[in-house]
Amino acid sequence: MNCLSALERAEAISQIQKEEYDILIIGGGITGAGILLDATTRGLKALLVEKNDFASGTSSKSTKLIHGGLRYLKQLDLALVREVGRERAVLYRNAPHLVIPERMLLPLIVGGSFSKFMSRIGLAIYDIFASVKPGEKKKMLSKEETLALESGLNEEILLGGALYSEYRTDDSRLTLEVIKTACNLGGVAINYTAFTKFNYDNDQINGISAIDTMSDNSFQLKAKQVINAAGPWVDEIRENDGDLGVKKLHLTKGVHIVIPRNKLPIHQSIYFDAGDGRMIFTIPRGGATYIGTTDTNYSGDLNAVRVSKEDVNYLITAVKKMFPATDLSVEDIISSFAGIRPLIHQEGKAPGQISRRDEIFITDSRLLSIAGGKLTGYRKMAKKVTDMAMERLVNEFNYKHISCQTRFVVLQGGDISDIGAFKSDLEKSLSGMGISEDQAFYLTHTYGSQSLKILAELNGEDKEIALAIAEMNYTIRFESVHTLLDFFIRRTGRLFFDPLSIEKLLEPVAKKTASLLKWNEERIDKEIQSVKLALKEIVQFD
Ligand code: FAD
């Protein structure tokens, strides 16, 4: 059974009801995905259920950086800088297609967060603790050198700059590839399946009730250990098991806006002072640049997080302070996205001061919940919580202890020894096929080696449409795509980063999907309308 084929979903749902799992994970963001992979590679029988699409929560709305932990350096948390630096190296080795080295420019300004002296010392420490490779180490720049790189920076406040090493990723694709890797090794993951309540035996959780949100069918799932990895929804799930106790989540909202690249002609990613003590990223991606993020307390609906006018104005004002010549305005925004940080509450601390460390909660009924943390540290978080689950399986169910195996597990699509050579070869093949060479970057960093499977299916006169259809065909069969939005947002990133391309692709892609998933006219229309609505919402600010 291929549980990630949308064509085999009914069979998969029927099968999981017959099994008893060692570990059942609630939540298909990066945290849940990491646990599924960790448990599966230890030989445990593991199931993950996600109420919406995989990565539809915070794990598709982040800044998409695999951090080296520069912000922890400011908090003098050297152990954390070392940990995330090491994790970054592991991830780069295991998923070279999804982890792209990115030189980040840090402009140093009058009254800014980083002084010249501090950044020189701080970045040198960062290079050591984050295990930065020799060719990627920090470089301090004079004012003139900084302006030579980015002439649009505010000369009046600029003192100089520093280049340091960060890595960029695509959070949804990372989540997807972790899930696919786990499922390829025997794990099971089902999207559009929501936890509804816990089931107990002698006051200990022995499974959950769940609902297939596509058919509205409810069913029971059995497991020795249930793990709650529901990100911002962690407390909502914990409440189902009783009182939350003293430790609670603190939710904060982070917004990004996306603009055409020519509206802010920068040449690399920049990490700059917003002017209020916070820092903002501007990161080019394809033909667009995304800018973020905000950090404000959030208590609204977790299932409908909106970008406000205030969020947008804050980001535009910050950009204008640093790039005074830009005439950037709200009308230039082509899309936006808002995510919720599931942080652990610390009394009296403002959003930006709350630790990003993760924490595990355990109850008498044996529910394990994990929250906090970062995308970057997902593998370590998974190890920590799976170690606890393993210990229980050993002590209470006589399992043989198996330690974490994920350090050397290559993610799907990452079996490429030289990513540069792979991209060049792809460029050559694409030009032979009549496809723009630009697509080589997109395909390499979206699907890695799996691009070849997609290109093998290419068929049709208009190559742009043919490619999108081949991608849809692939993602339906191997990545649990059930709706057009799954495809346009989380499998391809087009809705956020290339929304203008969707108009041409929408009808042909919908037609192909309808033929594979057997949609009737009413469903096709509903799906097309949902994409059109999403296209409006990404530029509508409350
Ligand atoms: P989520 O991704 O939200 O996943 C939880 C899942 O649980 C959701 O998909 C949800 O649908 C599901 N769920 C909820 N209820 C149920 C239910 N009843 N049944 C089944 N499933 C359920 N980290 C970095 O390392 N680098 C960055 O650059 C970075 N930037 C960030 C920028 C912003 C603005 C934000 C908000 C965060 C950023 N982070 C970054 C942090 C990182 O994105 C998060 O730590 C991470 O994505 C959280 O993943 P998660 O799996 O815990 O939560």
What is the chain's length?
Answer: 542
Contact 297, 351 (CB under 8 A): yes
The residues facing 23 across adjacent strands are: 46, 225
Q: Does the beta carbon of 62 lie inside 6 Å of ligand 1?
A: yes
Model pLDDT, residue 497 = 98
Q: Is the pTM of this model over 0.95?
A: yes
Which of 127, 70, 66 is CA-nearest to residue 98?
66
Closest residue CA from atom 9 of ligand 1: 57
Q: Take residue 345 and report the two structure tokens written for it.
A: 């509450």
Contact 52, 214 (CB under 8 A): no
Q: Does the beta carbon of 91 lie inside 6 Å of ligand 1?
A: no
Q: Does the beta carbon of 339 lie inside 6 Å of ligand 1?
A: yes
Q: Does the beta carbon of 344 lie inside 6 Å of ligand 1?
A: no
User: What is the Å distance from ligand 1's center to 412 Cα?
Assistant: 21
Q: Which of 50, 53, 58, 167 to mutate to test the pocket of ligand 1 (most atoms within 8 A of CB)?
A: 58
Q: How far is CA 398 from the centre of its chain?
A: 36
Which of 50, 45, 49 is CA-nearest to residue 23?
45
Q: How far is CA 444 from the centre of its chain?
A: 17
User: What is the Å distance from ligand 1's center to 118 Cα?
Assistant: 32
Which residue do the tokens 């009730």 mark?
209
Which of 60, 352, 16 is CA-nearest to residue 217?
16
Instruction: Report the nearest atom of ligand 1 relative to the CA of 230.
Output: 7
3-state secondary structure of 75: coil
- Helix boundaries (H) for 398-497: 419-433, 438-447, 451-455, 463-478, 484-485, 494-497
Closest residue CA from atom 33 of ligand 1: 62
Burial 395-407 (b: 16+ CB within 10 A, else e): eeeebeeeebebe
Instruction: Report the nearest atom of ligand 1 relative to the CA of 194.
Output: 19
Q: Does the beta carbon of 493 lie inside 6 Å of ligand 1?
A: no
User: Residues near 525 by Cβ (< 8 Å), separated by ≥ 6?
Assistant: none
User: What is the Å distance from ligand 1's center to 52 Cα?
Assistant: 13
Where on the phi/psi map is residue 532: left (φ > 0), alpha (ψ -120 to 50), or beta?
alpha
Model pLDDT, residue 542 = 87
Nearest-angstrom CA–CA distance, 46 and 383: 14
Kindly write down the DSSP assignment for every residue of 23-60, as one continuous string: EEEE--SHHHHHHHHHHHHTT--EEEE-SSSTT-SGGG
Instruction: Report the nearest atom of ligand 1 relative to the CA of 64.
Output: 28
Q: Which of 59, 81, 489 to mutate to test the pocket of ligand 1 (most atoms within 8 A of CB)?
A: 59
Q: Does the beta carbon of 356 lie inside 6 Å of ligand 1?
A: no
Nearest-angstrom CA–CA distance, 131 and 57: 31
Q: Does the beta carbon of 393 lie inside 6 Å of ligand 1?
A: no
Q: Does the beta carbon of 32 lie inside 6 Å of ligand 1?
A: yes
Q: Does the beta carbon of 31 lie inside 6 Å of ligand 1?
A: yes
Return phi, psi of residue 157, to 5°. Answer: -105, -5
**Residue 339 vs residues 68, 169, 271, 300, 500: alpha-carbon distances, Å:** 21, 16, 19, 12, 23
Model pLDDT, residue 438 = 84
Model pLDDT, residue 43 = 98
Q: Does the beta carbon of 50 lie inside 6 Å of ligand 1?
A: yes
Model pLDDT, residue 282 = 97
User: What is the Å distance from ligand 1's center to 515 Cα?
Assistant: 33
427-431, long-range: CB within 8 Å, 24+ apart, which pairs? 429/455, 430/455
Q: Does the beta carbon of 64 lie inside 6 Å of ligand 1?
A: yes
- Distance from first CA to last CA of the chain, Å, rounded? 45
Burial 166-196 (b: 16+ CB within 10 A, else e): bbbbbbbbbbbbbbbbbbeeebbbbbbbbbe
Contact 85, 362 (CB under 8 A): no
Which residue do the tokens 């009394």 mark?
347
Count Cβ atoms below 10 Å from residue 383 Cβ, excluding itself: 21
Q: Does the beta carbon of 56 lie inside 6 Å of ligand 1?
A: yes
Residue 312: its H or E element: helix 309-322
Q: Does the beta carbon of 283 lie inside 6 Å of ligand 1?
A: no
User: What is the Å distance from ligand 1's center to 341 Cα?
Assistant: 7
Model pLDDT, residue 78 = 81
Model pLDDT, residue 345 = 85
User: What is the Å distance from ligand 1's center to 65 Cα?
Assistant: 14
Taking only the tens of pLDDT, the chain with its 542 residues reads 899 999 999 999 999 999 999 999 999 999 999 999 999 999 999 999 999 999 999 999 999 999 877 777 777 778 888 888 889 889 999 999 999 999 999 999 999 988 888 888 888 888 888 778 888 899 999 999 999 999 999 999 999 999 998 999 999 999 999 999 999 999 999 999 999 999 999 999 999 999 999 999 999 999 999 999 999 999 999 999 987 777 899 999 999 999 999 999 899 999 999 999 899 999 999 999 999 999 999 999 999 999 999 999 999 999 999 999 999 999 999 999 999 999 988 777 878 777 778 899 999 999 999 999 899 999 999 999 999 999 999 999 999 999 999 999 999 999 999 999 999 999 999 988 888 888 999 999 999 999 999 999 998 889 999 999 999 999 999 999 999 999 999 999 999 999 999 999 999 999 999 999 999 999 999 999 999 999 999 999 98
Q: Does the beta carbon of 69 lie inside 6 Å of ligand 1?
A: no
Q: Does the beta carbon of 190 lie inside 6 Å of ligand 1?
A: no
